[in-house]
Structure 1
Amino acid sequence: MQRASLALAGAVALTALALLWHMRASAPATTQAEPAVEAATTGASRAYVSSPSAIAPMRTDPHRALRDGSLRGTAVDGGVTTGFAGRVEPDPALRRLFDYYLSLLGETDLEGVRQLLREDLQRRPLDAGQQAAVMELFGRYVAYQQARTALAAPGGGDLAARLAQDRALRARLLGPALAQAFYPTADADDARLLRQLAHADTPDDAVADERALATMASTIQAQTDQLAAPSFTPAQRHAERAATWGNAAADRLDALDRQRAQWQQRLDAFAAEASAVEGDPSLDGAQRRVALQQLLDHHFKGPERLQVQAMWQTGLLHAAR
């Protein structure tokens, strides 16, 4: 089955968060959830995609993207730390530097991001060897981010299993030392979250909220999966949701259904056309790359374009049979 958009998948959990907040504030979800659910289901997610590609690069001026795009007027975040004998020491500051430039993906392509990072490093008191070391770390970090994007499974899977999968990806693609340097508290944070979710009888409000949120998100997703059966009409789905969460929340979940359906239609259309391009014997490799690039640009923009590119390259997206 094709993967749904990460932004749409996160909306289920965010909807649960909005409902939980209103319940704790003693506001009946049946009448007062709409503002929070409205805000909660409009989030978006940025996917990072690495360079190996069957699709031609975007030809977007990276300097223009940096000057006029979403980072306009901001200061570069993060930095490069060197230690004994000038060795580059990876740390969270270096990861923030990578994230700063990677946030331009969708406004320029990955080669443009690399160019901006290289130019940044050249302005720092770093020699050629140190700059090369940073770029090698950047390549490993991007590969990890691509794997996270490709393997993210919206709306399913045990939390402990998902955290373990991410931990395994960090160890395999970054290496234990770099994973620890970039994410020094990740393992402890994951373990604490799992302990908190496992203890329902704790008196701590924050822990209780985390467990209630996880349970509510799971309940909403399970209900959504059940109501996705063809035997349920849109009106029946709305009635079931309204009975559980209130009319306003049901309206937002109905809207989410429509967004998911529209997203799936776009994925199906792209996959069918891309499969035809890849199977066209009249095209050589260069022509095929250009054609796939044009299809991506036609169907998707910004972060979603990068997400679909990763899905196609890793075999998670295919034409409907």
Structure 2
Amino acid sequence: MGAPTRWVTAVVGGALAVAAWLWSGLNDADLERPQALAGETPKHAAAPAAGLAALSTAASAPRGPEVFERWLENESSLRGITLDGAWDVDSEGRLKPTLALRRRFDQLLSLAGEATVDEIAAYIGHDVNQLAGSSAAAQVQGLWQRYVELQQYRFTVQPDMRDRGTWANALAERQQVRRRLLGEVAAKAFFADEEAMLQTTIAAAPGAAGFQSIDKSTLSPQAAQRLSQEEAAWADWERRLADARREQASLSARVELSPQQRDEALLRYVGQRFNASEMVRVKALLQL
């Protein structure tokens, strides 16, 4: 279970925990501070994360797709890793937006700060063209560009974890923007499950400002098992993040290393301990 889509569970308590977990995966451009999950309301719409801003900056000498592919496999923070997800196109070269395609996009977004949007788009076109032809490549490239635009979108409505009355409007804005930027089919494929779960949480959440902890004895065996899985996933995420912070502190104390060498070493460290869907958030939290 990736931390960005299953970020907070019952360890925070009841419906608030489930909502925070869902919002952390649903707020595409909002790589928010952890304090927001503890009840601090953002004062302004979310700005693009520093990593995504770096991703969208044109390089002075952009790498061509074949050079980029070699760099990706041998030098990037994803080196040695089989890309998550898939280029989902049918036998006739038509794009089939799926959750697997979103996972592939999310993994490439984890290269924020190492590569530009144009370099990744050229690589996508090259890779998909080899798989399914130029028409499919153009379709996947176009969806990639719109997905990046979604990550950088400044939402005007932010959910307040203490006030479920804000959740429906925030979700409605995100649904509208996703469908406008991605199209109905892609938006549904990428986000339908998360949106449905959040809608269920909104409908079921208690009306009082404070939320009560979930009594596991009242849950079905399936729900109790899932809750336990989420608790374990959250504990594992916290442990790995704490380890990464300690590694960052240790590298910072090594005066013989340049800042670039420290960042590269830390990227190697987190790349071995976090999956693709977690990397964007990890980079934001560690300010890489």
Question: What TM-score does the superposition give when structure 2 sets the normalisation length?
Answer: 0.49
Rg larger in structure:
1
Return the structure number with greater helix share: 1
Question: What TM-score does the superposition give when structure 1 sets the normalisation length?
Answer: 0.44
